[in-house]
Amino acid sequence: MEPKKVTLKKLHEVIEALQEGSEEPIGNYFYKGFRIQISKYRSSGTERYMRLYRKRRENGYCVRCGAKVTRKNPKTGKLYRLCEFHREITDRKS
């Protein structure tokens, strides 16, 4: 994943969010030729996958491959969590 280019003001906002205890600023940032990585120290693989899953789901991407999901669940009106390809594989596995 490419680091996000940030300004000094945005970097201050990231630091403030970290002080509040938020997990939102976790990621890679690029500031004046420096890459700044913010991650949880000694987080388990499960925690990392849960964050990745949550972030993909919130942004409307397939949780398995990261492709953009276009279809919505007609009952709830929310996007499906899997793309058409992975929905087909998962639903027809039997």
Distances (CA, A) of 53 to 13, 64, 87: 24, 8, 16
Tens-digit pLDDT profile for residues 78-88: 999 999 999 88
Q: Are 69 and 79 in contact (CB under 8 A)?
A: yes
Q: Cβ–Cβ contacts within 10 Å for residue 62, how many? A: 20
Q: Which residues in the chain land under pLDDT 50?
A: none
Residue recorded with tokens 């793309």: 83
The whole-number pLDDT of residue 37 equals 92
